[in-house]
Each structure stands twice: as structure tokens, then as C-alpha cells.
Structure 1
Amino acid sequence: MVCPSSCAQRLLSFFPFLLVLLDLQHQEVECEINGDVDRHLEMGKKLLAAGQLADALSHFHSAIDGDPDNYLAYYRRATAYLAMGKSKAAIPDLSRVIELKPDFTSARLQRGQLLLKQGKLDEAKEDFEKVLNSNPSDQEKSKATIQLAKSDEIQRYRSQGIAAYNQRDYATAESLLDIVLETCVWDAEIRELRAECYINQGEPGKAITDLKAASKLKSDNTGAFYKVSRIYYELGDHDLSLSEIRECLKLDPDHKDCFAHYKQVKKLNKQIQSAEELIQQGRYEDAVGKYEAVVKTEPNVPYYTALVQERKCHCYAKNQQSSDAIRECTEFLQKEPGSVNALKDRAEAYIQEEKYEEAIRDYETAQQHSENDKEIKESLEKAQRLLKQSQKRDYYKILGVKRNAKKQEIIKAYRKLAQQWHPDNFQDEEEKKKAEKKFIDIASAKEVLTDPEKRSRFDAGEDPLDPESQQGGGAHFHRWNQWQGFNPFGSGGQFNFKFNFN
């Protein structure tokens, strides 16, 4: 439908009025937006002063959304970021403030200080020089002058440190880089360089802190994660090594060095965990085999060679392979003479070999390194009792069996000796008396060593048939007295019976 000319003329007459109305509406909207921005800024300022940083930051976000060209909103948000320790996030906001208001010296001075901490010395110097050339306050002028001088000084130390490193004077390089990092705390490059100084001086453990910091300061820093993982691996902390190398692969799943190292650490970690699980289960021979596989997986790192030796020492001692235990423990202790675990394991093996004086020496040495270890104290007291006991009557020696002999071995040895020393086998009175005493000792040994409770007490250094070793009397004393002058295997008389050894 076409509007008649009279209608068109009427619309044109209203057009100026419509423009005025639209302009007024726009001004109202703009005022409302500006009012919201001001409210957000004011509220954010109050929250910031109260220490409610997250809430303050939220208001500053809203202020910037409402007015993307409000330099004050960016400056206050940068202040909130700095208060939260998010300095890296503050720099873009400070740069936006300077872009919107180039003469805002406070923002430029703050940005210069942050750039200095990052080690961006040339950019920092430029900011400090511009502050000095922009009619600053006396306080800002003083700060800028000091920071500019510091930038020049740091630049000199930095250059000297890098030169010393290139000349392989790692100690000098380290001391110079220490000075640089007192100011440039966020300089990832210098931290990595100082880490290399530590590594080249044979102190890889000290490099970890710098490399970890560098991995956070520089995005996608796979090299730092790889180096940290390698250091942990060589120091023997395979769990942390595995954790760090996984971080590298998160950044780059196809990283050649990280992937190869990941496979190595994972395999070694699994072998060590399996070996320890076998030890917990008492499967000591299997654990030794698993630890021998560890050496094949990693033959070049001294820590793992020593670990395998120490754990084999432990397994042999627990499995009562005393000679093997003494050999392995002794070889390990030549490298680590203060190893409490190896001293305890060797002492245990010495007891199995009935070398009580040697066991006592090992327990005493272990006690020097671990004074409050209750287990060592108890084991030392046991070894001392066993030494004293060995100087009296030793049931194992009487039967000629080892301390780890099984019950069947004990019975077999007893039968053989009982046949040999039965008093009926002797005619001479002196020989018969000697045989009677020997026969009673053999029977006593059999009684003690085939009774689990009595054998346990004897192994702990107490003779369950000796009144002198008892703490207050009991049926055991009576049993011992009954053995004197009677037949322990028959129905009475002075051994005038025929003993059936079957």
C-alpha cells in the first residue's frame, strides 16, 4: 500500500521530534550504564579494601564489561590481581591502562616493576625512563630512578653470569645468577641456567626448585618437566619421577624423550612395587628375583644398584639364608656404613650363624644412628642374652642343628644322638655317668626345641628349663629337677630299659 503524499508530509513533520526522542533515550541508557559501572567500581573498591579479593575482582569484571574503555576499571582489576598474587594476569590490564591513558605514571611504574621481576630488563627500563620523562610526583620519580639503576645493575650481573656459565665456571655463574634472581624472581631462563649450574656441580637436588619454578613460569615447558623427572629418577625417587614425566606428556603426548623415559620409569616402578609386595607376603626368594630384574632394567644408576643390594640383604636375612645375607649386607655397608636397616639385617643373620658378638656390635652401631628405635634396643638385649646363653647350654649345639632347623630335622638329630649316647651302650661306670648326663641334655634339647612355646622363649635368650634364667619359678623348674636321676623316656630305674626309637 502506498502512503498518500499528505501522509508522507505528516511523517516528515514528526521526524525532528523522533530524533530528539531517540537521542534522549540513548542518553538515558548511557547514564544507566555509566551508573552501573560506577557502582561496580565503588563496590569493588570497598571489597578490595576489606580483603574480599574474589568478590572485588567480579565487580571489576562487570565494570569493564560495561565500559571497555574505562582505564580506572582496568587499573583496579590489575590491583586486585596483584593482591591475589596473579601478577602475570595484571600486566595486560596495566598495559591497557597505559594504552588508554599514556600519562598514568602509577600504572607504568607498576608495569615496569613486574617486567623487572620477569627479567624483561629492556622493557622495564623503557617504562622507568618514560615515568621520569612524564612529570611524575616526587615519590614516583624517586622509585623510577632507583628501579632504573637496579635494571642496569641486574643487566650487568646477568651478562657476567651467562659468560661465566659459557666458560664452565659454574660456581661463579651460580653466585652471579643468585644476585639476578633476588630481583628477577620470575625469570624462567635464568632459573633454568642456575639449575644447570647446580647439576654441573654435582648437586642435582638443588636444581629441582628452579626447574619446577621454570615449568610454571614458562608455558609448555616440557624440557623442565623432563629434567626434573630425570633428577628424581637418578636420586631414586621413582614415584615422583613418574609424576613429573606424566606432566611432560600432558603437554606433548608425542614428546620423544619424555615418552621413552616414561616407559623406563613405569617399568622400574612396577618392578620395585612388585618386589616390595612380595616381601610383605613373606615370599623372599621371589622378591630377590624381582629385585635382580630391577638391576637389569637400570644397571647404570648407582642408587638402584645399592637399593637392590640392601633389599636382597633384607630378604636373605628374613629367609634365614644367613651366609648370603651377611655377604650382601657387608658389601652394602661398605658403601653405606650408617644404614640402620642393613645393620639390623646383618645382625639378624649373625644370630642365625650364632655369631652373637658380631650381632651385638651391629646392633650397637645401629643404635648410635637411631637412638630411639625400640626394636633395636630389644634386639640388642636379645643378642646379649643369647651370647650369655651360648656360654652355658645351647640346645641347638647339643643336637648339632642350626637355629632355623625344622621340627623333623630336630627329631631326626635327637634320635641319632639318643641311640649313640644311651647309657645301656656303656659298661664302664665313669662312661655310663658321662652318657647319662649327655643323654639328659639330648632329651632336654628335644623337649625345648620341639615345643613351639619353649623354643620361642629359648630363641629369645631364656632357657625354659633353667631355674636361674626364670623370673619367679613355676612348673618348668619342677620339670627340670625331675630329669635328674630318672629315665625321661621309660617307666623308672637307672636306664635299664630298651628304648624304641621308632
Structure 2
Amino acid sequence: MEGERRRLSGILSSVSLLCVLLDLQLDGLLAASHAEIESHLEMGRKLLAAGQLAEALSHYHSAVEGDPNNYLTYYKRAAVYLAMGKFKAALPDLSKAIELKPDFLAARLQRGNILLKQGNAQEARDDFEAVLQNSPDNEEAQNQLARIQELETNMQEAEASADRRDFTNAISFLERVIELSPWSPEARELRSECFLQIGEYSKAIMDLKPTTKLRNDNRAAFLKLSKLYYTMGDHEESLNQVRECLKLDQDDKDCFAHYKQVKKLSKQLESAEEYIKEERYDDAIEKYKSAVKTEPNVPVYATKAKERICHCLSKSKRPEEAIDTCSEAHQIDPRNIFILRDRAEAYILNEEFQKAVEDFQEAKEFDGENEEIKEGLERAQRLLKQSRKRDYYKILGVRRSANKQEIIKAYRKLAQQWHPDNFQSEDEKKEAEKKFIDIAAAKEVLTDPEMRQKVDAGEDPLDPENQQGGGGHPQQWPFEFNPFSSGNFQFKFNFN
């Protein structure tokens, strides 16, 4: 019996010793854990002060994980979120800090301020009133309660004005609402709709865009933005916005249907522009016509297509068609300098230089700094001046777009017609001689690429005033002929 008591006593002593050792070990672990948490908090504080927010946040995460019941840790992490502009992420931490310490006034003030900026007036009021119950003289809480009252009054007035379709007055009230609650999706959505109703599309977009982040899974806002951009003619941005909607839900029927329409139109417009870059103007024209068929209900695309078709016709040297199409486009969009530019170029091709000058001058009034317009005006003025003197194209009776073969063919016909040997009387010979010289000069100039380029730029390469030194006779005829020599004329000319 005595032995049994001794054995039991030994066991109890061993257990007691083990418990003491475990307690000591646990105390050591707790001390180490506490030291580690303090280290994270201290590092977080230093990094926050240094502006290294992401690194500070990482240390506060570790501190929260190490001590999930420390209200101050949540509050400090919320401060980092706020510094990063992540007010949504800050709210749960502030709420947890208040849950752990209901009389934590700093956290209540901070949460109340966020709720007020979100437009959550009643929840914000609850926080500020709770602060005043504990601290009746708290000036910040008193001021914020007054702002909440102002917010609610202005919002009510804005909604009433919008219901009366007095959108301008509603916008005025909403301006103050958004000053007080810049993160309120309801206020921004309402103002966006008011701007939309009065035709201020760009302002409507500016208000609607933030709501895609202020609300979770805001597919409706992305779709509305896409449709607004589409209506304004910005098909590329329209496509970007509807893709954001599909990222949130690829099976969204409304977004997918709109995506297909925008995608088809965008592809046609992009292909048309590629054809223009490749100088495939007929293909570009067909693509623009197809785009109008794809979207017949949004006028901006028909207007854009007409403008670009005008450009293609001018570039492909079809002046009559270009003038007609450009004139139609000009009636729709009279301040568009590119339509005026392209019509001016078509007038030049049609040898209507005065009208070309007028179009370039009108374009310059709208954009006086555009170098292309200034250069075009100077060229048209030179061509007008030149047309009143010697016009080599008119001499041969060819279009300004005529190729070398057409020029030579016209020259041969006229040279044979006006050869001085074909005429008998002295007066007739002199008239034919003059005509023949002009015909030969026109052929020489227009078959020489460098001289023809000068002519097309509004210069006369055979004008003595344009010759270096100003002296001598500049004409180099393609035949052996001296019109000033006496005796019978002997013409030896080249029909090539």
C-alpha cells in the first residue's frame, strides 16, 4: 500500500513538472508572438510614413493574422487602405474595430465619413450620433450631421426636378450632392441621365464611368457606356466598354448582342481605313457603304462614311463624283476641314481653281494652324494665277489626271493639225506657228516628271521669271525649230 502511494506521488510530481514546462513554453511562444506582432506594427507604421503603402499593408496583414482581436490593428490597416484610395476595403476593418471596441470614436468618425461620401446618409448619421452620445461636444460629428441634412435636402430637390423633366435644375442640385458624396453611384447615375436628356453626352459619360467601380458587377453601366460611345461614333471605345461587361459575365445576352453589332461595324471601318492606307480606294468605298448598311440608324456613321468616300473619290481622281459627294458631306458637317480639303483637291482636278481657293480659305478659317490646309491654299492660288496665263493641260486638251500615253497622243494629233506647213497665208502660218510652239512646249513639260510636278504645284517651269538668273530663253523644244529665223520654215519634230 505504501509503495502504491509512493508510485502515485511520483506520477503526480511528474505531471506537475510537465505542466509547468508547458506553461513556460506557452508563455515563451506568446511572448515571441507578441514581439513579432509589435514588429509588424512598427514596420507598418514606418513604411506608411515613408509612403510605401503596399509594403506597409503587407505588415498590417501579418499583424491582423497574428492578433485577430486587436481593434487597433484593424484600424491601422484601414488607414493604409484609405491612403491607397481603397475606401471599400477600409470599411470592413473599421466595422471590425468598432465591433471589438464600440466606444472607439475615431473609427466611428472615419466610418461615418466614408459612408457620407458613399451617399449612405442614414448609416453615416448613426455613426455620428453614436459619437455625440459619448462626446456631445465633438465638432466634427456635429458638422457632418449638418452636411447629411444638406445632402438629403439637395437629393430630394434633384429627384423632384428630374421627375418634372427640369434636368438643368436637377443637375444644379446634384452638383452639391456630389460635392458632399463624391462616391455616391446613385447621384452620379442620376446626373448622368440628366446630362443625357439634354444632349450632353460627354458629361454623361464622365459621370457614368466612375459608377463601374462604385458598384460591384456593374454590367449595366458598362453596356450604357458602350451604347453612348457608339451613338457618338467612337466605335473603338464602345467595343472596349462592352468587352468589360462580358468580362464580368460572358453569357450576358444584352452585352453579347451589342458586342456583335459593334464588332461587325468596327471591322468594316477598320478594313476601310486599311484600304485607304494601301490606296485601294474603290475597296475602301465599298467597305464604307457596307458599314452604313450595318448601322443605318446612327447618323454619325453615315456622315463619317460620306466624308471618307469623298476623300477616296478625290484621291482616285474622280473629280465630278468627289465634288458631288463632298458637297453632300459638307452640308451635313460644314465645319469639317477635311471635307473642304478633299473637295478643294477635286476642284483642282476639275480645273475649277477659284472654287478650290475658296474651299481652302474656308478650311483655314476653322483651323488656321493646319499646315496641310495652308500649303493647299498656296498651291490653289498659284494654280489660279497660272490658269490665267498658260495652262499646259488646256493647250493639249487633256485632264490633269492624264497619263503620259494620253498626253503624247493628244500632242501628236494637235501637232499634225497645227503644223505651219499646213497653212498657206502668212497670217495663218504665224498663228499656226504660235499654236505649234505652245503644243510642243506643253508636251515637253507634261512628259517630264520634274517639270510636271512643278506645274501641278502651281508653277510654270518655262516662265522666265522662274528661271535662275532671270536671263535667257528657258524653252528647250523637242524639235529643231527657230521661229525667229527668216525664210521658209523647216520643221523637224519628234512625235514620241
- TM bucket, shorter chain: over 0.9
Q: Where does residue 62 of structure 1 map in the other structure?
A: 62
The one-letter code matched in structure 1 to 2:17 is F
Mapped to 1, the partners of 2:326 and 2:371 lie a distance apart of 22
Structure 1 unpaired stretches of 5+: none
Match of 2:437 in 1: 440
- Give the 3 Å change call, closer, same or farther, for CA 432–224 of structure 1 in structure 2: same
**Residue 30 (1) aligns with residue 30 (2):** yes
Q: Tell me how far 1:329 sits from its aligned partner.
A: 1.4
Tell whether 2:467 aligns with 1:477: no
Check if 1:255 corresponds to 2:252. Answer: yes
Partner residue of 1:341 out of 338, 341, 364? 338
Deviation larger for 110-119 or 56-65: 56-65
| 8 Å CA contact retained: 1:486, 1:494 | no
CA shift, 1:291, in A, is: 0.8
2:140 aligned residue: 143
Contact 1:423 1:435 in 2 (8 A): yes
Distance in 1 between residues matched to 2:493 and 2:85, nearest whole Å:
91
1:457 is displaced (CA, Å) by: 1.8
Q: C-alpha separation between the residues in 1 aligned to 2:320 and 2:437? A: 32
| Cα deviation 1:204-234 (Å, max 9, x = unaligned) | 1111122110001111000100111111111
Letter in 1 for 2:344: A
Report the Cα distance in structure 1 between the residues aligned to 2:299 and 2:278, rounded to whole angstroms. 27
Q: What amino acid sits opposite 1:485 in the alignment?
A: P
Q: Is the 8 A contact 2:75 2:94 kept in 1?
A: yes
The aligned counterpart of 1:45 is 45
Match of 2:401 among 404, 410, 423: 404
Following superposition, the deviation at residue 443 of structure 1 comes to 1.6
The answer as to 2:378 corresponding to 1:385 is: no
Give the residue type in structure 1 aligned to 2:54: A
3-state secondary structure, aligned to 2:85 = coil
In 1, the alpha carbon distance for the partners of 2:302 and 2:379 equals 32
Match of 1:457 in 2: 454
C-alpha RMSD of the superposition:
2.4
Does the alignment pair 1:94 with 2:94?
yes
Residue 178 in structure 1 maps to residue 175 in structure 2 = yes
Alignment CA distance shift 1:485-1:221 (3 Å):
same
Shift of 1:501: 6.5
TM-score by length of 1: 0.92
Match of 1:110 in 2: 110
Whether the 8 Å CA contact 1:161–1:176 is kept in 2: the answer is yes
Instruction: Indicate whether 1:306 and 2:284 are aligned.
Output: no
Cα deviation, residue 9, structure 1: 4.8
Select the residue among 359, 362, 381 that pairs with 1:362: 359
- Relative to structure 1, the CA distance from residue 23 to residue 348 in structure 2 (aligned partners, 3 Å threshold; closer, same or farther) is same
Q: CA deviation at 1:62?
A: 1.7
Query: CA 1:124/1:329 → structure 2, altered by over 3 Å: closer, same or farther?
Result: same
**Cα displacement (A) at 1:305:** 1.0
Which of 150, 165, 168 lines up with 1:153 in the alignment? 150
Aligned equivalent of 1:120: 120
CA shift for structure 1 position 267: 1.1
Corresponding residue for 1:213? 210
User: 1:45 deviation in Å?
Assistant: 2.3
Alignment partners' CA distance in 2, 1:443 and 1:241: 59
Moved more, 360-369 or 195-204: 360-369
CA distance in 2, matches of 1:479, 1:497: 15
Q: 2:417 aligns with which of 407, 420, 441?
A: 420
| Structure 1 stretch displaced more, 195-204 or 373-382 | 373-382
Contact 1:329 1:345 in 2 (8 A): yes
CA contact (8 A) 1:440 1:483 kept: no
Tell me how far apart the structure 2 counterparts of residues 482 and 392 of structure 1 sit (CA, whole Å).
26
Q: Are residues 108 and 469 of structure 1, via their aligned partners in 2, closer, same or farther at CA, if it must alter by over 3 Å?
A: same
Please state how far the C-alpha of 1:500 moved relative to its aligned partner.
9.4
Please give the alpha-carbon distance, in whole angstroms, between the structure 1 residues aligned to 2:55 and 2:475: 85
Structure 1 CA distance, aligned partners of 2:205 and 2:22?
65
Letter in 2 for 1:429: E
Cα distance between partner residues in 1 of 2:58 and 2:152: 39
Deviation at 1:144, TM superposition (A): 0.7
CA displacement at 1:359 relative to structure 2: 1.0
> Structure 1 398/9 Cα, relative in aligned 2: closer, same or farther at 3 Å?
same
Q: Are the equivalent residues in 1 in contact too, given 2:303–2:329 (CA < 8 A)? A: yes
Give the conservation status (yes or no) of the 8 Å contact 1:462–1:470. Answer: no
Measure the CA separation in 2 of the matches of 1:455 and 1:44: 76
C-alpha change, 1:25 and 1:75, in structure 2 (3 Å) is same
8 Å Cα contact 1:486-1:493 kept in structure 2: no
| Pair 436,175 (structure 1): closer, same or farther in 2 beyond 3 Å | same
- In 2, the alpha carbon distance for the partners of 1:264 and 1:63 equals 51
| Contact 1:356 1:384 (8 Å CA) reproduced | yes
Residue 478 of structure 1, CA deviation: 5.2
Checking the alignment, whether the CA contact within 8 Å between 2:480 and 2:493 is kept in structure 1 is: no
Q: Deviations over 1:296-319 (max 9, x none)?
A: 111111111111111111111111
Give the drift of 1:271: 0.9
Range with greater deviation from structure 2 (279-288 or 219-228): 279-288
CA drift at 1:40: 2.3
Say if 1:344 and 1:376, in contact at 8 Å, map to a contact too: yes
User: SS at 1:338's partner residue?
Assistant: coil
**Equivalent residues of 1:313, 1:328 under 8 A apart:** yes
Measured after TM superposition, the shift of residue 46 of structure 1 is 3.0
Q: Which amino acid aligns with 1:203?
A: E
Cα deviation digits, residues 47-74 of structure 1 (max 9, x gap)? 3233332332222222211111011111
CA distance in 1, matches of 2:102, 2:242: 45
Amino acid at match of 1:84: M
Alpha-carbon distance in 2 for matches of 1:16, 1:496 = 141
TM-score of the pair, normalised by structure 2: 0.93
Name the structure 2 match of 1:468.
Answer: 465
Give the Cα–Cα distance (whole angstroms) in 2 for the partners of residues 236 and 476 of structure 1: 58
Superposed CA deviations along residues 264-294 of structure 1, whole A, max 9, x for unmatched, are 1111111111111111111111111111111
Letter in 2 for 1:315: C
Indicate the SS of the match to 1:477: coil
**Cα offset for 1:385?**
1.8
Whole-Å separation in 1 of the counterparts to 2:97 and 2:470: 93
| Residue-by-residue CA offset, 1:448-480 (whole Å, 9 max, x unaligned) | 222222222222222222323324358971526
| Partner-residue secondary structure (3-state), 2:288 | helix
Conserved in 2, the CA contact under 8 Å of 1:457 and 1:464?
Answer: yes
**Aligned with residue 348 of structure 2, among 338, 348, 351:** 351
- Amino acid of the residue matched to residue 401 of structure 1? V
Write out per-residue CA displacement over residues 17-39 of structure 1, whole angstroms, 9 at most, x where no aligned residue: 33333233222322222222223
